[in-house]
A and B are shown apart, each in its own frame.
Chain A
Amino acid sequence: MNILSVKNLHACVDDREILRGINLEVNAGEVHAIMGPNGSGKSTLSSVIAGRDSYRVTEGSVTLYGKDLLAMTPEQRSWEGVFLGFQYPVEIPGVNNVNFMRAAVNEHRKFKGLPALSAGEFLKLMKEKMAYVEMDPSFASRGVNVGFSGGEKKRNEIFQMAMIEPSLAILDETDSGLDVDALRIVASGVNRLRTKENATIVITHYQRLLDYIVPDVIHILYKGQIILSDDKSLALKIEEKGYDWIVNDLG
């Protein structure tokens, strides 16, 4: 079953075109990896899918289960199943993790026609999901990402993903800033959340992450276009030889 369908997507910032005709089909049960040099447009693609309004879509379409994502607000996209693990998670001073996640979870429940969780039920769920990424319970009462180390922020992203259980998770460089143990923990958290019904897109620069979260296909994004898609062996070649050979091969 098709979850995400991106067709000929073009997007600009100001007058500069950053995405220049992206095509991507992601089906249930699949893991896709997107690699590509710095500045090629990976984060832009994920932001456009999540609904950030600083990008202007000039052409093409993005659908989730056949529904037009581009017509939805960011929160609607989240309710429909999109989750973006941010490359740079945002600090929100004054809003603690509990209140933040309770608001998020209850809005998702409202969308599904379920009653809000009681404080007790919520805290139990939170504790259970924090364990997925071995997050210290003391983080619950702290401001969202405030004063978190780089690695702690990334764990917090996966914790949030575990709370929300999205059908399409886009993880933008979730591995950057993680030490080797944290990488393993975070990757196993992601794997634990995988089912036959959902799909994951991991954006990464390193083969290392893909040893843990094994992709069905790897796409190379270059200057706003997917110039090559191949199986997981591609990551090894890139680790060895960089991107030049692909670009040169394609002339």
Chain B
Amino acid sequence: MTSVKQIFFGREYLVLTGDEALLGRVLEHVPASASVSDIGDASGLKFELSLRENETASVTFVSFAGSPAKVDVRVSLLGAGARCDLKGLLVATGENRVEYDVFMDHCVGGAVSNQLFKGMAFDSGVTRFGGLIHVPQYAQKTEAYQANHNLLLSRSARAFSKPQLEIYADDVKCSHGATVGRLNEDEIFYMRSRGISEKQAFSLACTAFAAEVLVSISDSGLRDAVTDEILHLNL
């Protein structure tokens, strides 16, 4: 029995998927001012968002292993001045896959989108990110950015990344980038040389990696609760 939670506060969305017990622990920290709703179940999640002229939205996705393993995100920017910031953290553990497909549709010119998705694959976990940015010919003055960085935390972990740009307009600012790497041995040795145990050094490095995404959860209690779950993952 899994459900997908959407927490909405101010202009900010936080979408959580994964193991129910874990989500339960995080939800205890949701501030009173926020609203929580179920927006999907084990069969999957389709998250759709349309922004009109000058509307802005900031959405942070955090997906821990467990069903639904696949998330489809579709954002339509329908008016000039619209701005969408998407951040996502994919955490795959055990034998699980966590997959995201993001479609960013710049239906008009003069809108801005910014995506940062980070994957962490433990054990034999797999993360997959597919991101398509679509900018038709008439959508001039578009700004669209996308980055996908992945951290492999065991020998058998894997990450797949497929960023795609379909850009037909010529007066645009667009960029995309993808990386896959492992924990930096120099950093780990530096921490251990100060007496930080190997396990804790890994935890600190993992939290640091995730922080760039989690920093956009503005409520600190909620952010700490999500961070805690990552700290307690076993390497």
Contacts and interface: CB of A to CB of B under 8 A. Distances in A.
Q: Interface of chain B, helix or strand or loop or mixed?
A: helix
Interface residues of A, number: 30
Nearest to B208: A94
B137 interface: no
Contact of A89 (B190, B197, B209): B190
A100 B197 CA distance: 12
Contacts of B208: 92-95
Contacts of A83: 193
A94 B207 CA distance: 8
Nearest to B190: A90
Given A108-B195, A160-B194, A74 B204 contact: no
B193 A74 contact: yes
A164 B196 CA distance: 12
Interface string A94-110: 11000111011001100
Given A89-B190, A92-B190, A95-B208, A73 B195 contact: no
Interface string B59-99: 00000000000000000000000000000000000000000
13 contacts: A74-B192, A78-B195, A79-B195, A83-B193, A84-B193, A94-B208, A95-B208, A99-B204, A100-B194, A101-B194, A103-B196, A104-B195, A164-B195
Given A78-B193, A95-B205, A107-B195, 20 more contacts: A50-B193, A73-B198, A75-B196, A75-B198, A77-B193, A78-B192, A78-B195, A83-B193, A86-B193, A89-B190, A90-B190, A92-B187, A92-B190, A92-B191, A93-B208, A94-B207, A95-B207, A103-B191, A103-B204, A164-B194
Closest 10 CB pairs of A and B: A94-B208, A78-B195, A74-B192, A90-B190, A104-B194, A75-B192, A107-B195, A95-B208, A94-B211, A90-B186
